[in-house]
Structure 1
Amino acid sequence: MSGHFPFSGNTNRVSVFGFYERYNLNPAMQEKYYKWWYDWAKNFVMNDPDLKAVKGQEFNHYPYGQHSHVDFHLRQGTWTTSLVDLGGFIKGSIFGKMSEEEMHKLDEDHHNFLHHLEEEAKQSPRAPQPEIGWFRHF
């Protein structure tokens, strides 16, 4: 069921950046998308005694993860690397605690939110891909 999320499979920066590109999300909308997941994960963690004890302090700052506020050599990759970190935590620690019904609800909520962002993207599309690709070393 979790295959519909950009961090569900073999996730890396390129696959998440490709997800943002597929849905035409500019950096501001990428942050909105990330924030949706951050808020959802934080709420889940704070309502689960085990996760709260172990990971709760990691949600004291925004964004989550070791790559927060880091763009590496990538242009416009901040929300890509942040989602890889957060998504890895969600996939590895939260999804296993969820029931099938909870996963279906999450999938439906995600679908609706993504549809909303797609409509918003039509009003403010992302900048076109440069001639030298985003992930090329030069």
Structure 2
Amino acid sequence: MSGHFPFSGTRGTRYGLAPRMAISAFFEKYQFNYVLQEEYYKWWYEWAKAFVEQDADLKATMIHQFNHYPMGQHSEHSFHLNHRYWASCMDDLGAFIRNTLFPKLDDKSMHKLEADHDKLIKKLKSRVKDSGFEPAPDVGHFRHV
């Protein structure tokens, strides 16, 4: 499977190392502001929804997860996320993609997905200069206290 997506790693997820941190770092690395983060999320949301709609088993059991946008447990509140809402939403969606959809892909489909993802990143990167990106402050975004 791919290691090229910010949510695809599984190391540490069972031990409290939240992938939302890696996703937030991914957004920070590419300097995606809030609008570009949502566009990134929406691309994955549409891809996952289409995948579920085309798979009879998933359509019968999982399509309800796409009844509203965005999906997931963090979709209706900001909690303690300090302006990293889309990283948490991407964590929820990414876990579903990683654990449920990726195992259904063959190598050819995964390579096509990787190529499409690279195109998306290039498209979003071309809009960074005009996006008004603000770097993260010295104090972490995912503070609980």
Shorter-chain-normalised TM-score: which range? over 0.9
- How far the C-alpha of 1:137 sits from its partner, in A, is 4.6
Q: Give the corresponding residue for 1:37.
A: 44
- How far the C-alpha of 1:41 sits from its partner, in A, is 0.1
One-letter amino acid of the counterpart of residue 70, structure 1? H
Say which of 70, 95, 119 aligns to 1:112. Answer: 119
Q: Give the corresponding residue for 1:72.
A: 79
Q: Give the corresponding residue for 2:8.
A: 8
CA distance in 1 between counterparts of 2:119 and 2:132 reads 19
- The normalised TM-score by structure 2 is 0.89
Q: Give the corresponding residue for 1:132.
A: 139
Q: What do the CA deviations read for 1:42-81 (whole angstroms, capped 9, x no partner)?
A: 0000000000011011111100111113222121111011
CA distance in 2 between counterparts of 1:117 and 1:85 reads 21
Percent identical among aligned pairs is 49
Task: Report the secondary structure of 1:3's partner residue.
Answer: coil
Work out whether residues 2 and 8 of structure 1, in 8 Å CA contact, stay in contact via their aligned partners in 2: yes
CA distance in 2 between counterparts of 1:67 and 1:17 reads 14
Structure 1 unaligned regions, length at least 5: none
Query: Which is richer in helix?
Result: 1
Q: Does 1:87 align with 2:90?
A: no
Say which of 54, 57, 65 aligns to 2:64. Answer: 57
Q: CA RMSD in A?
A: 1.4
Q: Give the corresponding residue for 1:22.
A: 29
